[in-house]
Amino acid sequence: MNHLGFELTRVLIGSFDFTCCEGCQLQLANKEATLPEFLALVDIRNFREISSERLDDYDIALVEGSITRSDEIERLKAIRARAKVLVAFGTCACFGGVNSLKNRIPQEELVREVYDGKVIETMPSMRIGDIVQVDLSIPGCPVSKDEVERIMVGLVTRSAATLPKYPVCVECKQQLNTCLFDLGEICLGPITRAGCDAVCPTGKTACLGCRGPAEDINYPSFVQLVKDKELSAADMREKLSLYNGFGGYLDQEN
């Protein structure tokens, strides 16, 4: 038995979705060439994208999506009670994700404009960690299936399961990309946690920070960079708020 409390055999895994697009679960399901080897390490007990079987005995719970209804709170607590290890899986689970954009709008206006005044239950989007204890977080929109495989194998084999501490800029430079700031775009690569292989900047699309802040970032320097490049502070704040991963830094400006 390892330090997380489960046997080093085929680990029992349940995957669960809340308010989300389920794209992160599809990343795990669509592992293609490596899927057979991965499934040899785990025993899928509950994973709607893969199987209709529903079993409630699992060691690791992968939880995708944010929480936006009271019934989701109760369901999440039940999953947490059964799991030895709970993993916040993807940006929505880790930070609230794009669902958090609804938090800017008064509840009454949201119901009127989006739901045409119908009686529905909805509440501000919350992270998984706002409700229950999270043992491990894997950010990304969607998650990187290579990173998920590495971390899950690490859990199964009792190896260290860690995320990169450095920013996306490191991976971007490894790809020999032209800096998007030099092309007149605000890119969150200097302050966003790496691990995505800089897929967006490599495709000439600015990083929008879906993986949240890297460790020990120099946020004032980033803000100064935006000013030095004479780019829009409003656009910067809009990008920083998209996935709700930089809320603490935005609060520093208020």
Residue 220 falls inside a structural domain: yes
Whether residue 141 is found in the same domain as residue 220:
no
Whether residue 111 is found in the same domain as residue 193:
no
Strand partners, 61: 14, 86
Q: The CATH number of the domain where 70 resides is what?
A: 3.40.50.700
Whether residue 26 is found in the same domain as residue 81:
yes
- pTM score, whole prediction: 0.88
Q: Which residues of 40-76 are buried (b: 16+ CB within 10 A; e: fewer)?
A: ebbebbbbeeeeeeeeeebbbbbbbbbbbeeebbeeb
Q: What share of the chain has pLDDT > 70, as a percent?
A: 94
Instruction: Give the contacts of 222 (CB within 8 A, at least 6 positions apart).
Output: 190, 191
The span from the CA of 77 to the CA of 213, in Å, is 27
The per-residue pLDDT for range 121-175, each reduced to its tens digit, is 888 999 999 999 999 999 999 999 888 888 888 887 777 778 999 999 999 999 9
* pLDDT above 70 for 253: no
Contact 123, 68 (CB under 8 A): yes
The per-residue pLDDT for range 49-63, each reduced to its tens digit, is 888 888 899 999 999
Q: What local confidence, expressed as pLDDT, does residue 156 receive? A: 77
The per-residue pLDDT for range 89-98, each reduced to its tens digit, is 999 999 999 9
* pLDDT above 70 for 221: yes
Whether residue 29 is found in the same domain as residue 87:
yes
Confidence band, pLDDT 50/70/90 cuts, at residue 4: low
* pLDDT above 90 for 8: no
Full domain range(s) for residue 219: 168-251
User: What is the average pLDDT value for the chain, to the nearest integer?
Assistant: 90
> Does the N-terminal peptide bond of residue 106 adopt cis geometry, omega within 30 degrees of 0?
no
Residue 162 falls inside a structural domain: no
Q: What local confidence, expressed as pLDDT, does residue 51 receive? A: 81
Whether residue 105 is found in the same domain as residue 25:
yes
